[in-house]
Structures are given as C-alpha cells and as structure tokens.
C-alpha cells in the first residue's frame, strides 16, 4: 500500500520500515534530479543526521543487505521546491512488490517520452536530408 508522504513529513512514522522509489527527470538534456530505485529504508527523525533535510521532520535511511542502516539519507521531497511549494515527493510503500511496480511504471512513462523524442529527431533529420538531396537535383 502506498503511504501518504504527509505522514512521513510530519514525523508520524519514525522507526517504521518502508520501501521507497523515485525517478524524476524533467529536463531530458540533464541527468535525473532523482533516481532512487526500489530501496528498503527506515524512517528516521532528522535529529539523527547531520544532513539538512528541508520541508520534513523525518528522512529515509537505506537498510543494507546485513540489516544495518547505511550512512546515506534521503529526503522525502526532491530539491525542486521552494518556500511554500515543496519538491516532488518520493513514492513510499509498505511492501517491495508495490514499490517495484511503481518503479516500473515511472520508468515506462519515461521510456514513452524518450521514444517520442527519438521519433521527433528522426523526422527532423530525415527532412534535413531530403532538403539536401532535393538541392542536388
């Protein structure tokens, strides 16, 4: 089940184990703003990290293969926000299966955009080629 990000941001789920994922690439000419594949995490209070986490009372700490926490800290929102408009939230789930399904959906939507860009570029360069060939006649 997807968890409302507001519960995380308000600090209501500290200590809970969740699954997170997020792929956000609004500008195709730049690298993704956020690329978090399905990751098992624990929700932690921000007093537990030296990193500054904006717009939230909690953050996520990934759980490694041995069951311990890594030193990495993920904010519930990305860095596209400002003042009253927070950034795009991470997708949070109670189980791995739903998280993986959401991840695949996010990537599939991105692939559709890429296919559209590829098709548009192919049309553009084919038209350029046809124009040059016509000028040779």
89-116 tens-digit pLDDT: 999 999 999 999 999 999 999 999 999 9
Q: What are phi and psi of 73, to 5 degrees?
A: -130, 125
Cβ–Cβ under 8 Å, residues 100 and 38: yes
Nearest Cα to 94, choosing from 15, 14, 18?
18
Q: Which structure tokens are listed for 113?
A: 């955009």
pLDDT digits (tens, 9 = 90+) for 57-84: 999 999 999 989 998 999 999 877 676 6
Q: State mean pLDDT over 13-40.
A: 94
pTM for this structure? 0.85
Residues 59 and 74: beta-carbon distance below 8 Å: yes
């Amino acid at each position: 089940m997807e968890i409302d990000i507001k519960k995380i941001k308000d600090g209501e789920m500290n200590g809970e184990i969740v699954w997170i994922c997020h792929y956000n690439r609004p500008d195709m000419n730049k690298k993704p703003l956020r690329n978090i594949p399905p990751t098992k995490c624990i929700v932690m209070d921000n007093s537990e990290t030296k990193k500054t986490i904006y717009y939230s009372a909690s953050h996520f700490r990934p759980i490694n293969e041995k069951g311990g926490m890594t030193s990495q800290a993920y904010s519930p929102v990305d860095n596209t926000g400002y003042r009253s408009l927070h950034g795009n939230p991470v997708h949070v789930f109670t189980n791995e299966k739903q998280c993986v399904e959401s991840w695949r959906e996010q990537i599939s939507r991105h692939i559709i955009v890429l296919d559209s860009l590829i098709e548009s570029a192919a049309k553009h360069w084919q038209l350029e080629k046809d124009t040059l060939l016509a000028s040779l006649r």
